[in-house]
Amino acid sequence: MPRKPEYDRDDLIARARDIFWRQGWAGTSLKDLERELKLKPGSFYAAFGSKDALYGLALDRYAQEGVARLRALADRVGPLEALKAQPRLVIEVSRAPAKACMLAKTYAELQAKDHELAGRAGVLMSEMKACFAELFRQAQEAGDIALSHDPNRLATRYQSDLLGLRLSAERSDVDAHEIAADIAADIDRL
Amino acid sequence: MPRKPEYDRDDLIARARDIFWRQGWAGTSLKDLERELKLKPGSFYAAFGSKDALYGLALDRYAQEGVARLRALADRVGPLEALKAQPRLVIEVSRAPAKACMLAKTYAELQAKDHELAGRAGVLMSEMKACFAELFRQAQEAGDIALSHDPNRLATRYQSDLLGLRLSAERSDVDAHEIAADIAADIDRL
DNA sequence: GTCTTTCTTGAGTGATCACTCAAGTATATA
DNA sequence: TATATACTTGAGTGATCACTCAAGAAAGAC
């Protein structure tokens, strides 16, 4: 009996993610969102409740797609090759709104104020790290990496390297492909 | 003939740097600054002109002290040992308001809006990178690092690693000392 | 067609933003 | 002591912030 909304909620979340990813939390005003999502304030708040709530949904979507993409890659080329390819891939996605990791940007921006979204970003980064560790462990099982290494430690370093790489990739005076190649080369030496 | 200001300008810039470093640009309001610097709006604007102008001074101070500290360290222990010690040192400074690099935080927060301060942070990061490259080159001259390596490439990777490390050091679920040790170990293998 | 339910619209809310400025106060020189 | 020259004070500026809500419009059920 009721009327249906004119928007595609999933599409709106994806578009909001791109805006937040690029401009950050404080850098994105409701005016920005209303313009880009073509939603008047009333519809916006009926659909999402608050700016923070939408940011949370966007953050979850970002992390979920990131993990899914890496897992799918590992299923295709195996864990070691996936870990080696990932650095190059994350800085080459040209349709992405930014090179830097949205989780890291969120954490860096909001952690000092103990914002709930910073906590959420931290949890999601931790899950991402666990995903890396699992792939390192699988690579060890496959005999590609010496068993003497601790997969959790490898994952921690690897994630740190990726965060640095992706931040560096935003800079015009840095050749991020060289860094990506060096990170991949490090994995080969394990 | 005139009255002297009651504040120490250098001290105010240092205090402002710490606030901006921790809370970011948008995350720091003039109310925050007025409270921490104990300056009423009139005095604040007479002294610094604008929030952005003070942020710029704070950024310059941050970068200048960072370079000076590393150069002093290199003079004491030599270029190779300085580069190896730096990762541990940057995450161990307990009186620092944050572990992450202020230049990186500024760049990440403001680059999307082409803010002048992001450009300034980028230039300062570039200067820092040049400082790293110089130390790598000196280490090669001293015979500590094989001449086959490009010092600029080493510096780029090293800086990227440091950015990742320092961001990781903000997280409670990460053992940053392990990462720092691994980065130092990488330098030994060159 | 009529009713019910939900969505859309957009002016308007108080709070906070960076910033201004006129009035008051203190100090070094004459 | 008188005067000139800053510095300090804090109420107040318009703009923008996230957000609200009442009224109008549209679509399924009957």
Nearest nt (C1') from A45 Cα: D19
Distance from CA of B133 to the nearest CA of A (A): 13
Q: CA torsion angle for A143, A148, A153, A155 (degrees, to 10)? A: -10
What percentage of residues in chain A have a pLDDT greater than 70? 98
Residue with structure tokens 């970068």? B63
Q: Which residues does chain B have within 8 Å of residue A109's beta carbon, measured at their own beta carbons?
A: 24, 26-27, 105, 108-109
B63 close to B103: Cβ distance less than 8 angstroms: yes
**Predicted confidence band of residue A4 (pLDDT cuts 50, 70, 90):** confident
Which residues of B are less than 8 Å from A164 in CB distance? 159-165, 167
Helical segments of chain B, H only: 9-23, 30-37, 41-48, 51-77, 79-92, 102-110, 116-141, 151-168, 176-188
Q: Taking a C-beta distance cutoff of 8 angstroms, is the pair B120, B59 a contact?
A: yes
Cβ pair A162:B167 closer than 8 A: no
CB B162, CB A162: distance < 8 Å: no
Which tens digits make up the pLDDT trace of A146-178? Answer: 999 999 999 999 999 999 999 999 999 999 999
Average pLDDT over residues A130-152: 98
Residue A145: pLDDT over 70: yes
Instruction: Calculate the alpha carbon distances from A125 to A25, A58, A101 in Å.
Output: 17, 14, 10
C-beta separation of B17 from B58 below 8 A: yes
Alpha carbon distance B106, B111 (integer Å): 8
The rounded percent of chain B whose pLDDT value lies above 70 is 99
CB contact (8 A) between residue B168 and residue A172? no
Give me A130's structure tokens.
Answer: 């666990």
Residue B1 pLDDT greater than 70, yes or no: no
Instruction: Measure, in angstroms, how far nucleotide C16 C1' is from residue B29 CA.
Output: 10
Q: Is B66 left (phi over 0), alpha (psi -120 to 50) or beta?
A: alpha
Residue of B nearest to A23 (CA): B112
Predicted confidence (pLDDT) per residue in B81-116, tens digit: 999 999 999 999 989 999 999 999 999 999 999 999
A contact test, residue of B167, B170, B188 with most A CBs within 10 A: B167
Fill in the DSSP letter of residue B112: G
Cβ–Cβ below 8 Å for A104 and B22: no
DSSP string, B45-71: HHHHSSHHHHHHHHHHHHHHHHHHHHH
Instruction: Provide the residue type at B87 as one letter.
Output: P
The pLDDT tens digits of the residues spanning A95-125 come to 999 999 999 999 999 999 999 999 999 999 9
Whether the CB-CB separation of A86 and A73 falls below 8 Å is answered with: yes
pLDDT in tens, B57-80: 999 999 999 999 999 999 999 999
The yes-or-no verdict on residue A1 having pLDDT over 70 is no
pTM summary value: 0.95
- Say whether A181 sits in a helix, a strand or coil: helix
Phi and psi at B160, nearest 5°, equal: -60, -45
Among B140, B151, B9, B129, smallest CA distance to B67 is for B129
Q: What is the spatial distance between Cα B134 and Cα B155, in angstroms, rounded to a whole number?
A: 8
CB contact under 8 A, A160 and B162: no
Phi, psi angle pair for A145, to nearest 5°: -135, 140
Q: What mean pLDDT comes out for the span B144-173? A: 98
- Give the pLDDT score at B29: 98
Residue A2 above 70 pLDDT? no
Distance CA B111, CA B113 (A): 5
A67-78: average pLDDT = 98
